[in-house]
A and B are shown apart, each in its own frame.
Chain A
Amino acid sequence: EVQVVESGGGLVQPGGSLRLSCAASGFTFSSYWMTWVRQAPGKGLEWVANIKQDGSEKYYVDSVKGRFTISRDNAKNSLYLQMNSLTAEDTAVYSCARTWSGYLSGWFDPWGQGTLVTVSS
């Protein structure tokens, strides 16, 4: 079964850091772009970042540039999101998704269930 499963969310204080992981299975992970998308409580979806198959290209939404770092380990079929200098506005469910058709694409399938990040004192 093709699936992605996120982990690593939790409660963190403003200014803190968190590292999210996404474990992929059922497909050749190294052949796909991968993406992180988040959804704040009661809000719509927001694209956060994506990364090329070999990790050589990475793109971020402006609001996280300089604070978040996307990375991957193809040997472990894993995607990561290092989040630093967190603020309350980063509170959301973070999901990873396999990305089709390169980085110029809104084509995500499948998505994981997500992991909740709560930034609060």
Chain B
Amino acid sequence: QSVLTQPPSASGTPGQRVTISCSGSSSNIGSNYVYWYQQLPGTAPKLLIYRNNQRPSGVPDRFSGSKSGTSASLAISGLRSEDEAYYHCAVWDGSLSGRVLFGGGTKLTVL
């Protein structure tokens, strides 16, 4: 079970707005940047959001990230069929020996 908690699944219809949450603690999300990755079926993860809310070039502005306290969220507006994928949050955890934590991943289904 991941220290970072994500819902295992989410869904929406085309055009809808969906959000995916990532819950952690003061030693990780509460004190470090959060990153989001999109993993399409059979492909490598792709950076979607860095430093909580920044989009790399090429990522549509339909994708946005936010953070509040020990939780973070990824929002996808104007949902499209090609958004169907797994979404993973990641953050450095400063407790004990330190490590990067990933959430368990959320499977987004576009209905």
Which residue from B35, B88, B102 sits with its C-beta under 8 Å from A107? B35
Instruction: From A21-29, A71-79, A80-88, A98-106, give the one contacting chain B.
Output: A98-106
Q: Are A95 and B56 touching (Cβ within 8 A)?
A: no
Instruction: From B11-19, B60-68, B75-83, B92-100, give the one contacting chain A.
Output: B92-100
Q: Are B100 and A113 touching (Cβ within 8 A)?
A: no
B residues in contact with A111, CB < 8 Å: 44-46
Q: Are B97 and A45 touching (Cβ within 8 A)?
A: no
Q: Are A113 and B101 touching (Cβ within 8 A)?
A: no
Could you tell me the distance in whole angstroms from the C-beta of B54 to the nearest C-beta in chain A? 10
Given A44-B105, A106-B91; A59-B99 close (CB under 8 Å): yes
Could you tell me the distance in whole angstroms from the C-beta of B36 to the nearest C-beta in chain A? 10
A-contact bits for B20-56, CB 8 A (1 contact / 0 none): 0000000000001111010000011111001100001
Could you tell me the distance in whole angstroms from the C-beta of B79 to the nearest C-beta in chain A? 23
Spell out A's residues near B (CB within 8 Å): 35, 37, 44-47, 50, 59, 61-62, 95, 100, 104-114
